[in-house]
Structure 1
């Protein structure tokens, strides 16, 4: 049966054989395009869309980065904020800092909700250092009661401190 078809095709006119050959080639090309090239083309289109989306995201991020201040400026700003924080922390009241700054000897400390009563033994230079420390505090501590007495070669200070806030 196959020979009959081939024999019939060979006996056709040349132009008919040429047309049938071109039709078969065209049909084969369409089948190849539909089965193999079309999916590849669709995949390529998806990749191009992904590439465009990524390029768009990249440009948006680049614009955001360009709008940000330089790293040096951020470091300077961070250092300034750290210095402000350190100075704010160092200015708050601390009994150990008070004793260290003045060099006084603590007799007793009775803290309360907003201050407390403090008794120290010190000399005049230590008393001046203590006043310097208290004057540098933020928030300021107020002394509602203050008693300074001489005891032999030393001074005895009893002071009631109250937070200004």
Structure 2
């Protein structure tokens, strides 16, 4: 057995056959990968076009209703337009900050709606009961901030 392996490796043809065999295996693997793709760009195109049509119809419906996605209110933690909410402290950090408020229960939904209209999102918040109101601590960040 050992003699046949040495004889096989000693021949020049076998030295050339091993790299050719590896190239052939790589070519077959590449061909199988290319043919196994289930969707080609031609098949994807109608689906993408249909999704864009749905999206554009939604945007036009929003514009017809008078809702503009670019219409955001400016954010100012000092001037809160929500009744029943008072600013206790504001600590700016990067694209947002930490806001401590004293608020009534009824004013909390309006506060979050105002923050959404201003393009701010609450990344974390805590609620603690005080004497007659709630103490809210909000960690805010701009929606377009990374």
Question: Which has the larger helix fraction?
Answer: 1
TM-score, scaled to structure 2 = 0.46
TM-score, scaled to structure 1 = 0.41
